[in-house]
Amino acid sequence: MKFFLDTAEVEEIRKAVEVGIIDGVTTNPSLIAKSGRKFAEVVREITKLVNGPISAEVTALDTAGMLKQAAPLIKIHKNITIKVPMTAEGIAACVKLAKQKVQVNVTLVFSANQALLAAKAGATFVSPFMGRLDDIGEEGIALIEEIRAIYDNYQFPTQILAASIRNPLHVKQVALAGADVATMPPEVFWKLFSHHLTDAGIAKFLKDWETAKK
């Protein structure tokens, strides 16, 4: 499973990339706004840090507007993935971009039928938001499992990009369910390394080593 970071904070990306296992980055208008920087500037800087897909989201609601916004983003770098919303207009934009061999991420997916539409449109990635489903009392992981079954039934090449991941348990769940990618905030990425028994074991090893040196 690939690991993407869901952030627009360049320094957080830089730190995580140094570990050597980050495969891509997802951004959205909210994350860019939070960074307080210009959209194109942030995306361009991220392309210098990550050698993998970088999702840049359009904000237009009509197909023509999405394609117009996508055009300059595509020119930034070959790894730019255009992020479009799960609407009829977004799917139409996806079809046109896919025909141009542009990577597309269909976002805000909350049902298996929506994921099926994205795959039919030639999306590179589909982003089911499991955490937001959990928030309203539904099982987000069930959606990932349904999409995996449908895509396997028809050998769709569209990759399942599990999004709205809130904690390490979500990461484990989507890995078990067969998601191709998990995109997560940096704080969740760093939590994956931690376990109290690991900390205790390291502390014991160090204590024993100090004793052995005496």
Is beta strand 125-128 parallel, antiparallel or unpaired with respect to 104-109?
A: parallel
Round to whole Å and give the CA distance between 105 and 55.
7
Q: Are 168 and 191 in contact (CB under 8 A)?
A: yes
pLDDT at res. 152: 98
Beta-carbon contacts of residue 67 (< 8 Å; ≥ 6 apart)? 93, 96, 97
Q: What is the pLDDT of residues 101-158, one digit of tens each?
A: 999 999 999 999 999 999 999 999 999 999 999 999 999 999 999 999 999 999 999 9
Residue 17 CA, chain-centre distance (Å), reads: 15
User: Do 24 and 50 meet the contact criterion of CB atoms below 8 Å apart?
Assistant: yes
Alpha carbons 14 and 186: distance in angstroms, whole number: 11
Domains of the chain: 2-213 (3.20.20.70)
Structure tokens at 3: 């690991």
C-alpha 93/C-alpha 98 separation (Å) is 8
- Confirm whether pTM is higher than 0.85: yes
Catalytic residues: 83
Each residue's pLDDT, cut to its tens digit, for the chain (214 residues) gives: 999 999 999 999 999 999 999 999 999 888 788 777 888 889 999 999 999 999 999 999 999 999 999 999 999 999 999 999 999 999 999 999 999 999 999 999 999 999 999 999 999 999 999 999 999 999 999 999 999 999 999 999 999 999 999 999 999 999 999 999 999 999 999 999 999 899 888 888 887 777 766 6
Kindly state the tokens that stand for 162: 């599990």
pLDDT confidence of residue 213: 67
Q: What is the 3-state secondary structure (H, E, C) of the chain?
A: CEEEEECCCHHHHHHHHCCCCCCEEECCHHHHHHHCCCHHHHHHHHHCCCCCCEEEECCCCCHHHHHHHHHHHHHHCCCEEEEEECCHHHHHHHHHHHHCCCCEEEEEECCHHHHHHHHHCCCCEEEEEHHHHHHCCCCHHHHHHHHHHHHHHHCCCCEEEEECCCCHHHHHHHHHHCCCEEEECHHHHHHCCCCHHHHHHHHHHHHHHHHHHC
pLDDT number for residue 214:
66
